[in-house]
């Protein structure tokens, strides 16, 4: 009997597990919803992006279910409006401009949702983002947008701007003293005055006194009752909502100083941002990128290592460390770092191409081809995917494979052979007859 109970329990658990799995159709629906939201954030209409946000889910997780349900509809709308404005300001450009949602990859989440990796190009900047999609009724809504490389959750950052206590439990005793006691005091004063004056008046005048006292007494009584009902029905109240994070100004100035080449000033501004409470992982990552642009490789490596060791690490630092290690021939270290990055941040065409280069240099050609095939799948049918595969095959000395990857680009004039001749990526096959013949084709 116990055996059959165990089998039944295991079967039920298996059925629940299967029910919880995300179907391919759901993955496709969530991915399409994420792309629509991203496109609306970049190009507009911005209302479509805002409607896709799961604001209620975010706010309920922040303040707690009891507090969220205990707020009045007006108070909930104040919080929605504030969060909507700040989330939009963090992701969308100030005005619709050049940009696009490029490659994408949908990954099932443990809670039955879908995480959609999206490559966004915003005014020349490439951003790898993760859109946390969760079902709300029949729709897929955006629960969070994560900037993958610095490891910044925009929902977390926006919720943090609401302050440490955006919703507080109403202190009933204080509310009674503030709202009800003054009304009761007024009522007692009226009753006391009427009681002291009544014996001195003639009976007909007492009647008029009673009528005159009853009107304000009734007003005070009704006011007190209304205040008591309001206190009972509104157990939670809104706190003061701050304007934003205290480090945002220092962060913006630091980024501008980095772009202008003022490294010393930028470092001071980053230190100010850290002192004001900005998470250290993303700061160290940005400082590492700036140091690498300046050619200061050792400082860059130190910053990237600090970014990974932070309490909230920046995953992109692992990819940068992999690239630095590959450039210096430390291939096992590079392989370890890129594997860690892909596990933490998920795949993207450029990182898979870097993995393929590292695998090629390690002699793991089959793994390299698999990585570049995945990169091409993400990149789609454009020229970039074909070029990536050709460069990887050239690095492995496979001239025929490089030509086969580039051949489809010749059919519609998307191939510049003069650029191929000067591209150092093809040096390993520069004298191969197959490659030379391909370059000299009309």
Could you tell me which of 45, 47, 74, 69 has the C-alpha nearest to residue 59? 69
Residue 35 has pLDDT above 70, yes or no: yes
Per-residue DSSP letter, 42: H
Of 48-57, 98-107, 207-216, the least confident: 207-216
Give the separation between CA 76 and CA 71, rounded to whole angstroms: 6
Q: How confident is the model at residue 346 (pLDDT cuts 50, 70, 90)?
A: very high
Q: How is the chain split into domains, by residue range? A: 20-161, 171-233, 245-314
What would the mean pLDDT of 225-247 be, rounded to a whole number? 59
Q: Is the dihedral of CA 401, 376, 282, 338 positive or negative?
A: negative
User: Contact at 8 Å (CB) between 157 and 373?
Assistant: no
Query: pLDDT for 135-187, tens place per residue?
Result: 888 889 999 989 899 888 888 888 887 877 777 665 544 544 455 556 556 55
Q: Which helix (H) or strand (E) holds 117?
A: strand 114-122
Provide the 3-class DSSP secondary structure of residue 404. Answer: helix
User: Contact at 8 Å (CB) between 429 and 395?
Assistant: no
Per-residue DSSP letter, 330: -
Residue 37 has pLDDT above 60, yes or no: yes
Give the separation between CA 283 and CA 293, rounded to whole angstroms: 16
Give the separation between CA 225 and CA 83, rounded to whole angstroms: 35
Query: pLDDT for 407-439, tens place per residue?
Result: 888 887 778 888 888 888 899 999 999 998 988
Residue 341 has pLDDT above 90, yes or no: yes
Could you tell me which of 157, 161, 160 has the C-alpha nearest to residue 145? 157
Per-residue DSSP letter, 362: T
Of 14-28, 281-295, 337-351, the least confident: 14-28
**What pLDDT does residue 298 have?**
92
In the CATH scheme, what is the code of domain 20-161? 3.10.450
Residue 13 has pLDDT above 50, yes or no: no
Concatenated DSSP letters for 128-171?
Answer: EEEEEEEEETTEEEEEEEEETTTTEEHHHHHHHTT-S-SEEE--
Provide the 3-class DSSP secondary structure of residue 385. Answer: helix
Distance of CA 155 to the CA centre of its chain: 5
Residues near 127 by beta carbon (within 8 Å), at least 6 away in sequence: 119, 120, 121, 147
**What pLDDT does residue 313 have?**
92
Which of 17-26, 161-170, 232-241, 277-286 holds the top average pLDDT?
277-286
What would the mean pLDDT of 25-33 be, rounded to a whole number? 90
Give the separation between CA 343 and CA 274, rounded to whole angstroms: 28
User: Contact at 8 Å (CB) between 183 and 227?
Assistant: yes
User: Contact at 8 Å (CB) between 93 and 255?
Assistant: no
Q: Which residues of 297-336 are buried (b: 16+ CB within 10 A; e: fewer)?
A: eebbbebbebbbebeebbbbbbbbbbbbbbeeeebebbbb
Give the CA-trace dihedral at 333, 335, 337, 342, to 10 degrees. Answer: 180
**What pLDDT does residue 6 have?**
39
What would the mean pLDDT of 350-372 be, rounded to a whole number? 89
**What pLDDT does residue 121 have?**
77
**What pLDDT does residue 33 have?**
92
Distance of CA 162 to the CA centre of its chain: 16
Place of tokens 């096992």: 332
Query: pLDDT for 172-227, tens place per residue?
Result: 445 444 555 565 565 565 555 555 555 665 566 555 555 555 555 555 555 555 55
In the CATH scheme, what is the code of domain 245-314? 1.25.40.10
Residues near 363 by beta carbon (within 8 Å), at least 6 away in sequence: none
Give the separation between CA 126 and CA 260, rounded to whole angstroms: 20
Give the separation between CA 52 and CA 37, rounded to whole angstroms: 6
**What pLDDT does residue 99 have?**
62
**What pLDDT does residue 260 have?**
62
Q: How confident is the model at residue 115 (pLDDT cuts 50, 70, 90)?
A: very high
Q: Which helix (H) or strand (E) holds 125?
A: strand 125-136
Can the peptide bond before residue 180 be classed as cis, meaning omega within 30 degrees of 0? no
Of 81-95, 215-229, 381-395, the least confident: 215-229
Q: What is the mean pLDDT of the chain?
A: 77
Q: Which helix (H) or strand (E) holds 119?
A: strand 114-122
The larger pLDDT score, comparing residue 145 to residue 93, is at: 145
CA angle, 160 as apex, 74 and 233 as ends, to 5°? 30
**What pLDDT does residue 253 have?**
62
Residues near 236 by beta carbon (within 8 Å), at least 6 away in sequence: 67, 70, 71, 75, 167, 168, 169, 170
């Amino acid at each position: 009997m116990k055996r059959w109970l165990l089998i039944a329990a295991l079967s039920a658990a298996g059925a629940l597990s299967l029910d919880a799995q995300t179907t391919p159709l759901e993955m496709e629906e969530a991915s399409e919803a994420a792309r629509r939201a991203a496109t609306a954030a970049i190009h507009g209409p911005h209302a479509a992006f805002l409607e896709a946000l799961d604001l209620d889910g975010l706010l309920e997780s922040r303040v707690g279910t009891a507090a969220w349900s205990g707020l009045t509809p007006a108070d909930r709308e104040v919080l929605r409006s504030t969060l909507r404005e700040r989330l939009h300001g963090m992701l969308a450009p100030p005005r619709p401009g050049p940009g696009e949602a490029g490659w994408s990859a949908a990954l099932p989440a443990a809670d039955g949702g879908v995480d959609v990796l999206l490559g966004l190009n915003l005014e020349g900047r490439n951003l790898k983002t993760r859109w946390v999609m969760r079902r709300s009724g029949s729709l897929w809504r955006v629960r969070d947008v994560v900037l993958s490389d610095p490891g910044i959750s925009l929902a977390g950052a926006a919720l943090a701007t609401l302050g440490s206590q955006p919703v507080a439990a109403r202190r009933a005793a204080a509310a009674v003293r503030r709202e009800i006691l003054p009304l009761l005091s007024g009522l007692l004063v009226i009753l006391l005055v009427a009681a002291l004056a009544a014996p001195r008046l003639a009976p007909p005048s007492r009647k008029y006194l009673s009528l005159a006292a009853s009107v304000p007494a009734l007003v005070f009584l009704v006011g007190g009752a209304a205040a008591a009902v309001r206190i009972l029905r509104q157990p939670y109240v809104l706190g003061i909502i701050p304007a934003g994070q205290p480090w945002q100004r220092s962060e913006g100035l630091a980024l501008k100083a980095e772009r202008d080449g003022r490294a010393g000033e930028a470092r001071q501004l980053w230190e100010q941002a850290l002192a004001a409470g900005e998470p250290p992982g993303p700061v160290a990552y940005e400082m590492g990128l700036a140091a690498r642009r300046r050619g200061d490789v050792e400082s860059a490596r130190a910053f990237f290592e600090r970014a990974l060791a932070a309490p909230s690490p920046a995953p992109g630092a692992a990819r940068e460390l992999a690239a630095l290690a590959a450039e210096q021939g430390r291939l096992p270290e590079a392989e370890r770092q890129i594997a860690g990055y892909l596990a933490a941040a998920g795949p993207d065409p450029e990182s898979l191409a870097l993995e393929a280069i590292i695998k090629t240099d390690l002699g793991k050609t089959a793994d390299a081809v698999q990585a570049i095939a995945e990169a091409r799948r993400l990149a789609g049918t454009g020229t970039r995917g074909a070029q990536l595969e050709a460069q990887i095959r050239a690095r492995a000395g496979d001239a025929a494979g490089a030509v086969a990857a580039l051949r489809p680009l010749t059919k519609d004039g998307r191939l510049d052979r003069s650029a191929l001749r000067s591209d150092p990526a093809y040096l390993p096959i520069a004298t191969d007859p197959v490659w030379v013949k391909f370059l000299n084709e009309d």
